[in-house]
Amino acid sequence: MMWFPNPTTSSKLEDSFIYKIDGCDSTDIALTTLLPSSTPNDLQPCIPIVESTWQSCSAFQGDDSSPPNAIKTENMNCLTFLSSSTVGWSSSAPRTHFDPISLKYELIITSNLSLQVHATFEYSNPFANDKQSMAVRLSILKQFLCQNQELELVSTIFEDLVDDKDWKDISTDITYAENAKEIVRAVMRDKNCGQTAGSVSSKSESVDVKLGPLTNRGRIKLMYVCSNMYNYDAMSVTPDPTDIGRNKIVPLGVFLPWTKLGDASGNVEITLVVNTPSGSGVLQPSQSYNAFMHLKEQSLMKDTALIVVDKLNPDGTFLRKWHCLPPTQCCILFWLEMPVAVDDYVDVAAELEMLSTSPVTKLDIYCPTLEDTSILKVSMPGAPSPDAQLFRMKVKLPEIGRLPSTKVRSVINLNFSDASGSTGRNVMTSSSGAVMGKESKKTIRDCFNMFGERRFLKRLSSIPALLHANVLRKEDIWTDVTYAFDHGPVDTFSLTFLVGDLGDQIFVDSILIAAKATRELTDNKSTNLVDTTDAAADVVQNVMSNSTGCAIITYLKRLRMIKSNGGTDFESTADTAIHHFKSLQDDIQKLIPDPSTEPLVSTFVDFDTDGGHNGSIPSCLDAVDEMVSQYKVCNGVVYGFGDWLDQDCASKLARRIGSVPALLALHIPEPGQEGLNVVFRRGFTAWLDSLRSIPMKVIISAGAVAYTHGSRGIRHLNAIEVIALRHVKCLGSPFFSAPDVSDVHSTKAVVENLCGGDEVVFLVASRIHDPNALLRRLILDIGEEQISHVELKVQVQPEALFGCSLAHEWLRVLTSDSHSKTKEAGDLCFNSSVAVPRLLARMEDDVAFAFNLASRSGATSYLGRSNTNLDRAPIDAAHEPQDPSKTLILDSYQHGPRVKCSIRPQVQLRHRSLLVRSDEISTECRSTLRASSIEADRDSDSDCLELGCDSISFPTYMASKLKSIPRCSRSVMLDERDLKPRSNIPSATEILNGSDFLRTHASKQVGDVYATIRFSCNMLTNNSKALQFSCDFCSQKIPKYTTMFHCMSCENYNECAKCAGKHIKSHPLHVVVNHTTVNRGVALANQTQAVHVDPLLDELLGPVVTKQSPVQLKSKCNQPTFDRALEVCEQRVQYLLTSMLQWWPIVNKNYTNGRYPEALDAEMVRQIQEVLSMSQQSPETMSAKCALATTIVDSLERMAKNKKRSLN
């Protein structure tokens, strides 16, 4: 790994460090995993194409001044597993926090931007030598990868290490959740079954896993999927933007679990594997330095070590292994660039010939594999068969249809032109012979006017060819409208004429000549035709004498007169278009011979901008959606140029109005450049696509199947039931209308608001199981009253999805949250006459059990069992691990409320784990929050009041807006009745915001870390002179040479003689020993132990506490032979030494403010590697490790003595 500091001297960025990984395939534990980078001069900021020469131009609120291709953290794909584990043994006391020994994340990104995540958690039994069995419970908080894209669990595998050499695979089957819970519990308590069992259940806010009993090691392998990662269209930064529209950017941040430097939880090996599609690359820091620094400046990343992956293997893979966790929040950034398949070349003649041929509707029945076909069946009500076969059928509607002679087509071209003040800035020239970066006299506004004029004239010149190909007819109506806008409407002008008015190629050529002549006059600031040639003047006069020609020239003059003005508001111009629609309709209706005829409208949108919307993006998109629906927009293109461009807004806007990616570039292409040709070719292709689009209605059925009922005779049922449809490529929003009941024996599904060229996938349940037989009976009708001469081509194709992927697709449909009247959920549209909740639930169970997938509703769970070891001690109820989801709790410290995942829970809610937001807490709830209602439970991992505690700090979901709740140092109790219903699944931003609050103590200073490590070294070397103990019950110091009681099961819990016995009353399974504060190695003088007679009696009267001699205790109880506190101390030292090798630049930055050299001293490296290679845990080995750890702590503390920094 390499790292480089920020080269700027700005005080705002002087502490911003970004790291980059050296290589993309490394698993070595060595200093070479972190190397100093090249000099900062190698990283040059991007130079923007435009510089403001208009002095009054200033950014408005909402203007995006971020660098090209920059990203906001709230839009990133953020992957972080907020998890908590608990453990129980057959005889030792259970723990409320238990760390895995290794974590592995394998990410697979597909070309359609879906993500597969394979997460592996491996646990090791520390009491394997004592013949104790172990059971583990794992709880993982559900999360959205980005915005509303949830990570969904689709499969689970368990593994058990048998005889210390072979991993035994424990495959899982689906069963109902209650059944799985009881079976796992029975296996753990049966000493004779010799089995290992595991279960996975899904709750509303978490996924809970239980595995055991284990002898040595166990693994939990979970597979998650996300169907659509966030992406945005890339901005070209080359002077000639020939690559415009060719790439999309997918930002992925993998947040690693982390811990503090002085913690014992850091010795977790973590492996990250990423597979990307072929042809993928990564954004380079050297080329987009400003974008990386913009990301680092944002609040989420300010206290995060940002590690950039700037290189992938030739096959698009990445592999990295770390032998310990990072000592601060750490994000591995994959800023991926993925190619978009485009064809810039358009053969107009070939396109028009294709448009003139007979249209064809294609219907493909996807036939699953033989294995999937046999189980992809669901039970349906009725007869003759108890089940129905599930099929997906893709329909591609014809791109053009021949309209009946009674129909008139209205072609509308909407041109939205940004006239904000920033368009008044001059552009830089890059033409041949000019010096790059030389200022031009042209402004961005001049370029937008030129773009609009060229598009307009090119489309007019194609009208004769379109008429000749019968794509358009003379009676069709042509409308062009321009909406110039800034923070409000600037100018609106339109042009409407009959297509037949421009049917003569000679007249069209005359218009082009006149347009050129008038443009030259405008450039020369003249209005006198005498300034043109005689021939041009005659042409202009002839054109102006024609009403349509005069209207066209007048339209062009107004287009050239648009000037720059104030801010930028996309919503206002969409509203203007909506309000202008009625006026346009009136103008169009005047040209229709029969006033009762309603024209078929096809609208195309051009949107030119150099900035972003100054306001709410969702509100803006809602207005655009309304405009698209009202105008029946078929396609459109967004053109964006300049350094103020909001790529996120432009990308979302482009997807709302059409199928073409936003064409974005930092430099504005000039005439003669290939980039300008690319822009116009892409736009013209999209415009031709809009001409192929005609509103359509689809009716689909397969007739009826007859059966004989025992008492009712012959009855009929639908051969197919259409459950829903999924959008593949739709310009509008299709919906199911009332079924067609023209046939008395069957009903037909009716879908409206489809357009020519649309592609949809129907999800059907067919009582005809053979796809070839279904093909012969399938009927797909396109409304004859609108379109004629449409052929239907039906064929059977192999199903592209198979196995779990196919089943997961069906489960997403069957368990969609949208069961309202409209039955709409994103790209999914339900047929409300068929998709009733009871039928969907019935089908969900059939698919889940058939494909062994847990249902998304949580009704089913994974269950696995296997014979692994006959000699295995059972785990009774008292020793079973607790529910780990209780550690994902709402807590309140002096820094405000947060959800905490720590090594010890300090708060237990009386009801259940609650994750809430501020707007969901009622006023009554806020007024009744009680800071002292619950005392922190001093459980097996109670706080060490003076020396702190250890916790893995996962980037966590935090209710970040709950700042109005009173801040306090104790826990808060919330009543569930005070909370409004909500989905408990947090977004990625909610999980990551405020991750620095993941502290067991709210303020943990660097000095406390040093004291903790020194204390650990003194404990391990039994340095009694430097040790000072306190009673963890009364908080009083325990004098030296006096008796104290120490818990062998806790990390560091001690009691004075006065408080002796308090801990064992609340933790009867713990082992408490009596010794002096000076010598912790003496034999057990006294031992308190709870004698369990009857659980109910213990609950009513309390356990009976007796005193037994050490010999008697050992003969009756198989207790651990080592002190948990010493184990924790050893882990702290181990983590310190390992992190110095693996994460030295981060340690240097966080603990010394970067005062030490970038590379760790070679002699120090040698010493660390030498002590880490010592396998024998002898007193000499431990002394050597402690001596070296003390040296490191002294060095770090000395360098940062006068500048204490908060631990991040």
At 938-971, the pLDDT tens digits run: 333 333 322 233 344 433 333 332 233 233 322 2
Token representation of residue 885: 């989801």
User: Do the Cβ atoms of 666 and 287 come closer than 8 Å?
Assistant: no
User: Do the Cβ atoms of 723 and 834 come closer than 8 Å?
Assistant: yes
User: Do the Cβ atoms of 656 and 628 come closer than 8 Å?
Assistant: yes
Token representation of residue 847: 């698919």
Mean pLDDT score of the chain, rounded to an integer? 75
Cα gap 72→62, rounded to integer Å: 13
Distance of alpha carbon 1194 from the chain centroid? 43
Q: 777 CB contacts (<8 Å, ≥6 apart)?
A: 702, 703, 719, 768
- By the 10 Å C-beta count (0-12 exposed, 13-18 middle, 19+ buried), 1111 is classed as exposed
3-state secondary structure of 1172: helix
Cα gap 1153→1205, rounded to integer Å: 8
Q: 776 CB contacts (<8 Å, ≥6 apart)?
A: none
Q: 400 CB contacts (<8 Å, ≥6 apart)?
A: 355, 359, 471, 691, 692, 694, 756
Token representation of residue 615: 């306001």
Cα gap 1001→1003, rounded to integer Å: 6
Instruction: Return the axis-axis angle of helices 1179-1199 and 1162-1172, rounded to nearest 10°.
Output: 150
Cα gap 365→390, rounded to integer Å: 11
pLDDT at 531: 52
In terms of DSSP bridges, do strands 172-176 and 439-443 run parallel, antiparallel, or are they unpaired? Answer: unpaired
Cα gap 458→676, rounded to integer Å: 14
pLDDT at 471: 79
pLDDT at 783: 63
Task: Report the candidate in 140, 143, 133, 134 with the shortest Cα–Cα distance to residue 156.
Answer: 140
Cα gap 703→377, rounded to integer Å: 20
3-state secondary structure of 765: strand
Cα gap 922→979, rounded to integer Å: 7
Give the number of other Cβ atoms within 10 Å of residue 878's Cβ: 13
User: What is the dihedral angle through the alpha carbons of 835, 376, 173, 182, rounded to the nearest 10 degrees?
Assistant: 30
User: Do the Cβ atoms of 896 and 963 come closer than 8 Å?
Assistant: yes
Q: 1196 CB contacts (<8 Å, ≥6 apart)?
A: 1010, 1147, 1151, 1152
* Distances 789 to 601, 757, 781 between C-alpha atoms, Å: 20, 16, 12
Cα gap 899→913, rounded to integer Å: 10
Q: 975 CB contacts (<8 Å, ≥6 apart)?
A: 911, 925, 928
Tens of pLDDT, residue by residue over 238-291, are: 888 888 888 999 999 999 988 888 888 889 999 999 999 988 999 888 788 888
* Distances 326 to 32, 309, 354, 876, 898 between C-alpha atoms, Å: 16, 16, 60, 37, 22
User: Do the Cβ atoms of 1015 and 1025 come closer than 8 Å?
Assistant: no
User: Do the Cβ atoms of 54 and 565 come closer than 8 Å?
Assistant: no
Residue 425 gets which letter from DSSP?
A: S
Token representation of residue 1122: 């080592």
pLDDT at 551: 92
In terms of DSSP bridges, do strands 269-275 and 317-322 run parallel, antiparallel, or are they unpaired? Answer: antiparallel
Cα gap 389→765, rounded to integer Å: 6
| Helix intervals (H) in 320-473 | 348-356, 370-375, 444-461, 463-468
- By the 10 Å C-beta count (0-12 exposed, 13-18 middle, 19+ buried), 1176 is classed as exposed
pLDDT at 1179: 83
Task: Report the candidate in 502, 503, 497 with the shortest Cα–Cα distance to residue 588.
Answer: 497
- By the 10 Å C-beta count (0-12 exposed, 13-18 middle, 19+ buried), 587 is classed as middle
* Distances 787 to 465, 631, 697, 935 between C-alpha atoms, Å: 22, 20, 10, 74
Place of tokens 């404990």: 1019
Mind giving me the DSSP string for 300-317? HHHTSEEEE-----TTSE
**E strands in 656-790:** 663-665, 695-701, 704-709, 713-718, 720-729, 735-736, 749-755, 759-766, 779-782
Give pLDDT < 50 ranges for the chain: 1-15, 27-56, 343-346, 431-437, 530, 784-786, 818-825, 889-982, 994-1005, 1081-1093, 1095, 1106-1120, 1205-1208
3-state secondary structure of 599: coil
Task: Report the candidate in 14, 25, 15 with the shortest Cα–Cα distance to residue 1.
Answer: 25
Beta bridge pairs of residue 715:
707
Residue 499 gets which letter from DSSP?
A: G
Beta bridge pairs of residue 134:
89, 214
Cα gap 556→994, rounded to integer Å: 55
pLDDT at 495: 93
End-to-end CA distance of the chain: 21
Residue 997 gets which letter from DSSP?
A: G
**E strands in 919-994:** 952-953
Token representation of residue 178: 């209650």
Count the helices and strands in the chain (H runs, E runs): 27, 59
